[in-house]
Structure 1
Amino acid sequence: MKIKKGFNAIYRNLKKFLNNTFFRAKFVFTRYYETKEIDNQSILLQSYSGTSMTGNPYYLLEYLCKNEKYQSMIKYVVSTKKNYKDISQYIQNKNFKNVKVIRIHSRKYCKALACSKYLINNVAFPTYFIKKEGQVYLNTWHGTPLKALGKAMTEDMLTIGNVQRNFFMCDYILAPNQFTLDILRKDYMLDKLYKGKYLLNGYPRNHIFYDEEFRTKLRNRLELDGKKVIVYMPTWRGTHAIRNDTEQFYYIMHMLIELDKNLGNDYIVYVKEHNMSSLKIDFEQFEKIKEFPNEYETYEFLSIADCLITDYSSVMFDFANTGKKIILYAYDEEEYLKDRGMYIDFHSLPFEKVYTSRDLIKSLNQVDEYRNYFNEISDYIHYDQINTIPDILGLMIESQSSELLNVIDLKPNPDHKPNVLIFTGALFKNGITSALKGLLSHIDKDKRNYFLTFTKNQVNPNKKTVAELAQDFDYIVESGEKNFRINEVIPSFLYFRFNVNTKYIQKKIKSLFKREAQRLYPNMKFDYIIHYTGYERKYMNLFACMDGVKMIYVHNNLIKESASKDNIHLPSLRKSYNEFDKIVIIRDSMKEELLGSLGENADSKVCLAHNLNNYQNIQNKATMDIVFDEDTECNITVEELKENLSNKNTIKFINIARFSKEKGLDNLVRAFEKYHQMNPNSYLTIIGGYGPTYEETLDLVMSSPAKEAIAIIKSISNPYPILNASDVFVLSSHYEGLPMVIMEALILDKPVISTNITGPKEFLEQGYGYLVDDSVEGLIDGMKEYEKTQLTLLKSFDYVAFNETAIQEFEELFK
């Protein structure tokens, strides 16, 4: 079966290599990146991922082509396959010399991207791009942000990875105003790691608004004298994950029909779609409504407009340079803004706002009547009045300074604090995540800079946890897949699929992950690197190839666990135990358990650092109402659960654990079944975040004679009110590290019954819990003992003192 799955994976990837240009480009780019030299006479310009050649990159290209000293340089312009013909014709019509249009992800593109000395973009290069030492990268971005960016995009905060890492690779990031600069720094979390410089200067694309001669010539050429030229530029209604053009299409079509019917003959309305949109408007049905002409760069044509109609687009700030009328047609304001964070209060914008076609027509009929907004938005367009295109290119290409350029060199980490990178794992609703939260709530951020890192697809189901942690910590999202050389594919396949481990394979694995470290963490230096979960094989191999003091946590005996689970890669685990600098155990007896499997000299690296509890958070959340999440599954309703837990005449047992074999939930259900026959006034709640045995456990519960007295809950973000409403916690596991949940129960003054297994035993035998045999009979004995004595002789848990000791142990790791 394993061999069959392996060959199926080979077949799928071979098919992708042959048919998927993006997948193939990762290999092609990597070969050029590692084998070709930089061409000092080439520059690559990419705008909006190749969907157009517009915006800031276009105006920089125009200057490069018109200025004699840059004539000999080869200028690569990037295009998508779909737009290749239009962009090629566009460049030809402009009569630009020494310009080559190349398709994104093609061989020519990969070579130009890997070898061009100078790189210009207004969004981001693909996830496989790694900047070569000696390349110079300018990111101009594409507007003053009105809507949330980066981590401020609550629904899309995990999509920022590729843009963020592109910023970290930049030598220069251009911002048109201080507001934009501050937003980019804050919400892409650049301050502590970005080593490049910021340019606080006018946008190249906005200088066209001050070229009155060009405006007059273009209007004359198009025979628009005496016409009132209106440009409509709606923003995109979708998200990074969901395209949503249909509803927008119907609203816009209704509006355009009304404008065509009711505006005077001296009006012409040009409609410019967002580059991410796919509206299919048939312009032939209109007389006064026309498609925005594609033979001109967007802002070239926009500069001749008498009025701009938009909604929530940053184009309003750029067009404000003209001082002409701006109308915000916000027909869906309430719906649009409810799901999007806004940096600026929409109602505070000094432009006229209309909500119906009738009011829009009324405003257009008074196109020359509007308030003077210039002073109110001067902070956003202050720098646009000066043409700094020659100076920007002079700095980038010739390292020439200029008095016109406002170059800001904000040195990262001015306090020289050590940088600590922590891999969080998937942030499942489990004990490891609780332990991580406890640790992060107590660490001293004045001593070190802490950065969290995780994989987008892994943590996507747990975005709420990411949002919670992001309030206090910067994070780096892994974006894209590994870049391979062809000769690394088979070694990687043999290593990860079949545990084949030779010197040659290790050589290829090392080269693969050394490159991956450069891709994921470009220009970043971490003094300490912590693999907190201790499970994920990729990060074991990745961190082994990075500089810095490397630590891996051991929450469970994974060598033992590997006998019953297939998610543990023993070669990677043993490699990390051998090559990492410190192996962090969370209970003292774990060292003895691991000694035989740690490898040569690994035992000297073992350090003890108990997990911490965020007891204040636990106590606060325990007082909240019991609430099911959208993804919560339960065999009863939340109202029924509340009613059952409020019954003072029943003994209420609870277990909180992953749905997995080693948690012994089958034993717990069977033990409760028998106990319930002896004492019908009893109730059991089982809560689990995830795991492979949920369906099996649910079936066991639903077929049990005691099913009416058992609640089984899958996935709930706040289990503490349920724990608080219960009487006693029962741990039924066959083996454990030191589960956080038993301490969480003690924090809420709930007595603990636990199977007598290593881990919990070490902690609970100090008088904190009642230990029973790891069997159905043992669990029944524990339940009967609680009924008899309420376990009143157990000691209370001093969680404050425990945390103080644990944080001291954590601090010792950095010595």
Structure 2
Amino acid sequence: MKTNISKLTDKQLAQYNKNEKKMRTIADYTTLYEKKLPMKEDILFAESYSGNFLSHSIVQFVKQVLNKKKEMHVVLSTSNMKSFYQAFSIDEQKRILVVKRDSNKYLFALVQAKFIINDGDFPDYFIARHGQIVINTAESFFGFYTDKLSAYEKRSQRAILQSNYLLMSESVKKQLFTRLRLHDIKDFYLATLKTNTQDQKSDWNILFLKKDSKLDSANKLKKFISESNITNKVIILVHPSELSKYQNFSEFGRYVKPFDYSIEKYINKAQAVYSDNEFLLDKPVFDSLDRYIILENLKTDSFSVSERKNEFSADQLLFNKDKWLKYPNKKKNIIIYAGGFQNNGVTTSSINLSFNIDYSKYNIIYIDKWKYDEDSEKNVLKLNDSSTLIFRTGATDYLMEERQPAGQLQSVKGFDSLSKKNKVYAQNVFKRELTRLLGCIDIDVAIDFSGYVVFWTSIMAFSNARVKLIYQHNDMFAELSKVVNGKLKHADKLPQVFQLYKFFDSVVSVGQKTLELNAEHLSEYANRKQYKYVANSIVVDDIRNKANDYSNVVHINGSDYLVEDNVFKILPDKKTFTLVNIGRMGPEKDQKKLISAFYEAKKKLDMPIKLFILGSGELEESLKKQVSNMKLESDVVFSGQVNNPYIFLNRADAFILTSNHEGQPMVLLEALTLDKPIIATDIAGNRSVLGEKYKDYLVNNSEKAISKEIVELCLSQNYERTNRLSFDAKGYNEYSMDLFYKLIED
């Protein structure tokens, strides 16, 4: 195949020649994919266990096709030739072309085969072509992994979306989609494969173990078999990747077998199968056996067999679409990049949206990186279970001539610096990348909810979505001059994002005043009509319920503590006047100014007063040092990142926010929802939330004004301002969602 390498730098050429990070393989595949070669209807491409083993379902499917369709040829991806020779007869072998994963023949087969079947993951670069029949059984991973989503499962998400036909029962599909955070965001077709299994008339037993099983030693296996009264011979089935571990058990090693094509001869000698995961028991190959689930206490219980319907032979399934049950997507798809789920207001806003969206009309699909730190991992778990979360795994598919334009788009110069031809190259890269991640799903709305990362901005900007939005959660012009640790944090990144505003239908500010600032300062990047306002939504019941949730509160030595992740965090004492600040410890939140103002106020007050600061960030250590220098250690409490900040807020006397710039601070809405007095700096974002009704909560953005307000609020015993006002939280939420729906439907 001919790949254009003339545009490569010397470094890229060296990487291409060495095939570093599969650069050559990816380029060669992408070249073939873009050529749109004619598909061959007499070729079935099959792969199992990423080309390392041959699973039972794949071998059965291939055998049935070869038996019934004499004109069909099979391209089989495997590096395990011993298994190949044992699995297929000599006549069958003659009609099978064996290829190795990533080889040239492999790439041609992926692109040209009309029919493709896989039992797990495809290569990261694979994109199903329009018109290909792509079948997935998920057999190589589903049921083996049971705790956190593994890296392999996150890769397999993409493989499921590249498939349009799922060879599994309805109950398995339901459990699979729940496990992988998928929903019917495209049309899927479902059926099960009819297999011939003999009646068992033997006294053997099968022990089928998930990955990281509790039965992971010879002693544990021996004890379980003894206590379960399994007196006859036992075959131990494991995931192929764990085969060597179990085969090293001296007493059981020779009875350990991989879950692959070879299991059929053992099944035909067995009477029962035991497993520590019910989904492994649900494999159709075990239909004629007695089945027992191994409970957490390593006792056994009978497994309730799911009903199987819609069973057909492989040849019927390949050539008769009406044999498959259709599971259509009847909703509009909204895809969102939410900024990596870091601890910030963008994450809170996106999580809130997942709880307020109308799931009877919309699928909300978050796409994001696949590796998280501990805090981001926790935030991801807060998403509504009805939402879909797709992890970006693997590398982008490039033609070699596209690498430089795509890189330049993300560099300091940005999209506008590209030639007309290179702009097309760059746009094609990001269009293709979205298809690589999600398959050929229909996208109604694409939203860059972050607005800071040019890669994801490009994904949304160049998508084929009917409506495209990019959010501005802050005064973006002010963000250009934001300094962290002596360096401009966003100055070399945001201009590239701004250059892509022209490709969006709306540039959405989350505050009315913030909109006015952004439209004025960034007018060169989009016309005034593109700048729109949509207020962030809140989850009212969640705020109020958590504010009064004392299930994790303990009382020790006269103080209350919130216990989260085995960490005890002292709560505000209702007998002491307390201010609470919630937010990331960055320059824009300016807790340094807050601490100084608190210090000055405390000197003027003849009463105890405390300040709680919730959150984390790059300035945390310097703020703690400031507190130490001012000898405020007993008066200022750093609570760190808190899963339930509302209980702190609810117990406090007032909420205080001393930011220099904001978009639409969610914490102000949360404080209003809990009817808390507020001290907030008079900046555009804060004024957007508080408006005229709550303008008395606003103070001049200076240390002196903030200190004075703290003193006055502390000395006021009646808090008359708050008692006179009420915040219609649910009415506000309906208003914010109406704005959102109007924007995506117009």
1:546 alignment partner in structure 2: 463
2:669 partner SS:
helix
Alignment of 1:193-342 (within 5 A): 193-199=185-191, 201=192, 203-204=193-194, 206-209=195-198, 230-238=204-212, 248-251=216-219, 254=222, 269-281=234-246, 290=255, 292=257, 297-312=262-277, 314=279, 316-318=281-283, 323-324=288-289, 330=294, 333-334=295-296
Q: 5+ unaligned residues in a row in structure 1: which ranges?
A: 1-8, 216-227, 239-243, 338-345, 351-376
Cα contact 2:679–2:697 (8 A) shared by 1: yes
Tell me the secondary structure at the aligned position of residue 552 of structure 1.
strand
What RMSD in Å do the two structures reach over aligned CA positions? 3.8
State the SS of the aligned residue for 2:618.
coil
- Seen in structure 2, the aligned counterparts of structure 1 residues 700 and 158 have a Cα distance that, compared at 3 Å, is farther
User: Where does 1:666-681 land on structure 2 (aligned, <5 Å)?
Assistant: 666-679=592-605, 681=608
Name the structure 1 match of 2:5: none
Aligned-partner Cα distance in 1 for 2:698–2:260? 79
Contact 2:597/2:703 (8 A) holds in 1: yes
Q: Is the 8 A contact 1:432 1:555 kept in 2?
A: yes
Residue 180 (structure 1) aligned to one of 162, 172, 175: 172
1:166 to 159, 170, 173: 159
Cα deviation code 1:54-99 (max 9, x no counterpart):
211111222344456236x2x222235xxx3534554677551132
Note the C-alpha offset of 1:136.
1.8
3-state SS of the aligned residue for 1:248? coil
CA-to-partner distance for each residue in 1:109-129, whole Å, 9 max, x for gaps? 333223322211122213321
Residues 765, 106 of structure 1: alpha-carbon distance in 2 compared, 3 angstrom cutoff: same
Q: Quick one: which amino acid aligns to residue 562 of structure 1?
A: L
Q: SS of 1:420's equivalent? A: strand
CA contact (8 A) 1:256 1:289 kept: no
TM-score, structure 1 as length reference: 0.77
* Shift in CA distance, 252/90, structure 1 to aligned 2, threshold 3 Å: farther
Deviation at 1:520, TM superposition (A): 1.6
| Matches of 2:406 and 2:10, distance apart in 1 | 11
The separation in 1 between residues aligned to 2:530 and 2:240, in whole angstroms, is 54
1:10–1:426 CA distance, 2 compared to 1 (3 A) = farther
Task: Sort the Cα spacing of 1:290 and 1:185 in 2 relative to 1 into closer, same or farther, 3 A.
Answer: closer
Which of 516, 526, 529 lines up with 1:592 in the alignment? 516
| Equivalent residue in structure 1 for 2:728, among 799, 802, 805 | 799
In structure 2, the CA distance between the partners of 1:774 and 1:15, relative to structure 1 (3 Å rule), is farther
Q: Percent identity?
A: 21
In the other structure, the counterpart of 2:705 is 778
SS in 2 for 1:707: coil
Residues 495 and 505 of structure 1 are in contact (CA less than 8 Å); yes or no, is this contact kept in structure 2?
no
Q: Is the Cα–Cα contact under 8 Å of residues 50 and 78 in structure 1 kept in the other structure?
A: yes
> Which AA in structure 2 matches 1:780?
S
**Structure 2, unaligned stretches of length 5 or more?**
1-8, 483-487, 554-561
Q: Which moved more, 1:544-553 or 1:31-40?
A: 31-40
Show CA shifts across 1:461-509 (max 9, x none): 4344434433333343333332222223233333323334322543332
Render the CA deviation track for 1:303-337: whole Å, top value 9, x for unaligned. Answer: 23355454436554457867455566x4xx32689
| Residue range with higher mean Cα deviation, 755-764 or 778-787 | 755-764
- Structure 1 counterpart SS, 2:53: coil
Native 8 Å contact 2:349 2:538 kept in 1 = yes
> Is contact 2:333-2:443 (8 Å) kept?
yes
Partner of 2:573: 646
Q: Distance in 1 between matches of 2:308 and 2:320?
A: 25
- Aligned residue for 1:141, secondary structure, equals coil
Query: Which position in structure 2 is the counterpart of 1:343?
Result: none
CA contact (8 A) 1:422 1:529 kept: yes
| Map of 1:566 onto structure 2 | 489
- Of 86-95 and 494-503, deviating more is 86-95
User: For 1:477, which of 384, 391, 397 is the aligned residue?
Assistant: 391
My pick for the range that moved more, 516-525 or 767-776, is 767-776
Q: 1:393 aligns with which of 310, 315, 327?
A: 315
Displacement after TM superposition at 1:510 (Å): 0.5
In the alignment, structure 1 residue 603 sits paired with structure 2 residue 531: no
Q: Which moved more, 1:781-790 or 1:650-659?
A: 781-790
1:581 aligns with 2:515: no
Residue 349 (structure 1) aligned with residue 303 (structure 2): yes
SS in 2 for 1:469: coil
Change in CA separation of 1:39 and 1:718 when aligned onto 2, cut-off 3 Å: same
Aligned letter for 1:629? E
User: What is aligned with 1:42?
Assistant: 43
**Residue 784 (structure 1) shift:** 1.6
Task: Report the equivalent of 1:374.
Answer: none
Instruction: Name the CA distance, whole Å, in 1 between partners of 2:573 and 2:270.
Output: 68
**Whole-angstrom distance in 1 between the partners of 2:259 and 2:378:** 43
Cα distance, 1:139 vs structure 2? 1.7
Residues 51 and 78 of structure 2 are in contact (CA less than 8 Å); yes or no, is this contact kept in structure 1? Answer: yes
1:671-700 CA deviation, whole Å, 9 max, x = no partner? Answer: 222333333611111011x43222322333
Looking at structure 2, the residues matched to 287 and 600 of structure 1 have their Cα atoms a distance apart, in angstroms, of 69
Comparing 610-619 and 719-728, the one that deviates more: 610-619
2:99 counterpart of 1:102: yes
- d(CA) in 1 for partners of 2:715, 2:27: 68
CA deviation string 1:367-398 (max 9, x = no partner)? xxxxxxxxxx4x545677xxx43xx32442xx
Q: Which residue of 1 aligns with 2:557?
A: none
1:10-21 alignment, distance < 5 Å? 18=18
Asked if 1:502 corresponds to 2:445, the answer is no
Q: Distance in 1 between matches of 2:626 and 2:431?
A: 48
> Taking structure 1 as reference, are residues 716 and 116 closer, same or farther at Cα in structure 2, changes over 3 Å only?
same
Q: Which range moves more in the overlay, 762-771 or 701-710? A: 762-771
Paired position in structure 1 for 2:32 = 32
Deviations 1:633-689 (A, max 9, x none): xxxx52xx23xx2251x321111111111111111122222333333611111011x
Corresponding pairs, count: 708
- Separation in 2 of the partners of 1:285 and 1:434? 53
- Alignment of 1:155 onto 2:148: yes
Quick one: structure 1 residues 597 and 300, their matched pair in 2 at CA, closer, same or farther if it must change by over 3 Å?
same
- Cα distance, 1:609–1:400 mapped onto 2, change above 3 Å: closer
Which structure is higher in strand share?
2
> Alpha carbons of 1:629 and 1:15: their partners in 2 closer, same or farther (altered >3 Å)?
farther
Correspondence for 1:619: 544
CA deviation map 1:271-292 (0-9, x unaligned): 4432231444567966995454
Mapping of 1:423-438 within 5 angstroms?
Answer: 423-438=337-352
CA deviation profile, 1:561-610 (whole Å, cap 9, x unmatched): 02225357234422332110012222222233122413365211122222
Q: Deviations over 1:395-446 (max 9, x none)?
A: 42xx347xxx842123320xxx543333333233332233334444444444
Q: 1:708 aligned to 2:704?
A: no
Match of 2:559 in 1: none
> Contact (CA 8 Å) 2:185, 2:329: kept in 1 or not?
yes
Give the AA of the match of 1:312: N
SS in 1 for 2:383: helix
